[in-house]
Structure 1
Amino acid sequence: MDSSIKQPAWDSELKQAVQLRQESQLESSLQLLVKLANNYPDEGVVQYQCAWAHDALGKEISAVPYYVRALSLQLTDEDRRGAYLGLGSTYRAIGEYEKSKVLLEEAIAHFPDAREFKVFYALALYNLNYHEESTSLLLRQLVETTQDAHISQYNRALLFYADHLNEVWADEE
């Protein structure tokens, strides 16, 4: 790293907090990140990491404002992607299914090739009783990503059924 590039004042503490999380010292990580988030409310990555720390401890409701704040600020594409997924998944986990659906639709629009959003979107659709659309979307993701030869041999049929989940066929006499 070029030593002439000045790192933000919060950078070393953020790295320490992430390291603590990676070492499963979740409470210590959270405490440090809450302090950082309060001290640097306009730093998207700090808000995102604080949200993630809450989620890691099962504190989904507390994570929401940090995710929302992070998404309103500047983030790298990778962090924005993570924040969208974190918030979309969290909304679903706390029963805010419509918010989850809307946010994941936004994420899919921004990251159309990111399959993880489509899978979590399918879960939100399921919770909203859009069972056919949910199952269809999950089938498509399965077919397009599986390496399992026993499933792949049925790709054509599965893709057909993805669009015809409620149809019944009977022999014509």
Structure 2
Amino acid sequence: MKELEMAIDLRKEGKLKESNKILINLANKYPDNSIINYQCAWSFDVMGSEKEAVPYYEKAIAIGLSDDDLQGAFLGLGSTYRTLGQYEKSREVFEKGLAKFTDDKAMKIFYAMTLYNLNEYSKAMEILLINLAQTSSDENIKIYKNAIEFYSNKLDEVW
């Protein structure tokens, strides 16, 4: 769809308002198109209008998306709920997303932020430390990878 491509190109060029306007019009014209709803949600998100993004993310997920887009929609909606202070909803979205996309490290990091907001500091730190140990290219972290992973869920223990 030419208009959708144009809106995505405008967003890439930093013309966020123009892109958003086209996507809102498309979402009104094609309310059952999951990709348009997802792109519209994304356009609100990048403009800092998270509250407006929520219904579009929810609708896109409910209608159904390809795995790549669904993965992005779960991350976007979970993160949006977190920034709006709706931490339990954020947790639910991330847990659904991580059940389907178990290896998505970015989603795990955003989930850890939500856990932090829910005062689940130990679990948040565990997720962050494991991901740091598994993904870091820093030589010193690589040397201590096993120790970091071992202690990741034992931060309150004293030997």
The TM-score normalised by the length of structure 2 is: 0.98
Give distance in 2, aligned partners of 1:31 and 1:16.
11
Give distance in 2, aligned partners of 1:25 and 1:84.
25
Unaligned runs of 5+ in 1: 1-10
Among residues 87, 93, 97, which one is paired with 1:97 in the alignment? 87
Question: Runs of at least 4 residues of structure 1 off by over 3 A?
Answer: none
C-alpha distance after superposition, 1:2-53 (max 9, x if no partner): xxxxxxxxx1100000000000000000000000001111000000000000
Matched AA of 1:38: N
RMSD: 0.7
Q: Does 1:80 pair with 2:70?
A: yes
Give distance in 2, aligned partners of 1:44 and 1:65.
12
Q: Does 1:33 pair with 2:51?
A: no
- The alignment-based identity, stated in percent, is 47
Alpha-carbon distance, 1:82 to partner: 0.7
Matched AA of 1:53: S
* Greater helix fraction, Structure 1 or Structure 2: 2
Q: In the alignment, which residue of structure 2 is the partner of 1:13?
A: 3
Helix, strand or coil: the match of 1:41?
coil
Unaligned runs of 5+ in 2: none
Give distance in 2, aligned partners of 1:153 and 1:74.
43
Q: In the alignment, which residue of structure 2 is the partner of 1:132?
A: 122
